[in-house]
Amino acid sequence: MRLGKKALLRMLGGRIGPDELERTLGVRLEIGRPIHRAHAAFARERVDAIAIRNGAAGLHDVAMLPSLRWSDAMRLFLPIFLVLASSCGSAGGASTFVGSVEGTDIKVGLVTDGGKAALFFCGGPSSFTQSTRWFRGDGAPSAISFTSANWAASGSANGELASGMVNPGIGSSLRWTAKRVSEDGLPGLYESTTDPDGTAGVVVLDESTMQGAMLPKGSTATSVQQIVPILPITRSPDGIRVTVNGATAREIKVVRTRAR
């Protein structure tokens, strides 16, 4: 076996100059070959072997790590990125909930979006004149709270459910609950803010069940008007058609409510 001059002298106890600059070399990443001799290129090889080599004398390759080619990585991860981006976009959008107030004929609709909330309570055939009220304003889904005249309403929305308490001016609070519905489906909270008689609110539960009322505004309206469905209830791109039972019955269009 042939030994280098320095190694031979050290074995014999000798020295060759000072040792001040001797050190252990840092770990370097080098591209190695599967075998240490020339070989033909692999056809459509999907994985390149990368050897981690320690530069210290006497140590050799210690691991082999897979490395995806750029085109393969894009094909693998791009669909995942697109799904995540889509879900993030929807999570930051509007959420709509519809339900009822326990022990009453009052229906409730809630829309939350970007720190804003729209909350609507609508009485049934025997209570719509006294038990209908809109609330709008700032309201994080976890902390919704409104007051108006002798009404007070609070609640929170978490995932697929929303719930809270409402006091419709009767001196005691009642519990309300609502379930989340699709933004693209028929069930939801609808409104019309351009009618000369007032602001319409409609809570749609399914294709045959809804409850709504027109709240007066200005000096021309004298009372709350009931809104009834036109069956079967269908939603078109521009909203749904309903009937306002005022002095003279008439049809109007209502659209999905936006929190603002």
φ and ψ at residue 68, rounded to 5 degrees: -75, 140
For the cut 70, the answer to whether the pLDDT of residue 160 exceeds it is yes
How far apart, in whole angstroms, are the C-alpha atoms of residue 3 and residue 151? 97
How far apart, in whole angstroms, are the C-alpha atoms of residue 96 and residue 203? 11
Instruction: Say what the pTM is.
Output: 0.65
| Secondary structure (3-state) at 81 | helix
Which position has the token pair 């609507």?
120
Q: What is the mean pLDDT of residues 228-243?
A: 95
> With contact defined as beta carbons under 8 Å apart, do 161 and 176 qualify?
no
How far apart, in whole angstroms, are the C-alpha atoms of residue 153 and residue 145? 6
How far apart, in whole angstroms, are the C-alpha atoms of residue 87 and residue 193? 31
> Where are the chain's structural domains?
48-53+60-91, 95-256
Compute the half-sphere exposure of residue 131: CA atoms within 13 Å on the CB side of its CA: 19
Instruction: Give per-residue pLDDT as tens, 48-63.
Output: 444 444 444 444 443 4
Residue 169, pLDDT score: 87
Residue 51: its H or E element: strand 47-54
**Contact partners, residue 24, CB within 8 Å, separation at least 6:** 56
Residue 217, pLDDT score: 80
Q: What is the mean pLDDT of residues 143-147?
A: 96
Instruction: Give per-residue pLDDT as tens, 185-222.
Output: 999 999 999 998 899 999 999 999 999 999 998 644 45
Q: Indicate the DSSP class of residue 233.
A: P
Residue 6, pLDDT score: 54
Q: Which of 104, 156, 164, 109 is nearest to 131 (CA)?
A: 104
For the cut 80, the answer to whether the pLDDT of residue 85 exceeds it is no
| Secondary structure (3-state) at 236 | strand
User: How many residues does the structure list for the chain?
Assistant: 260
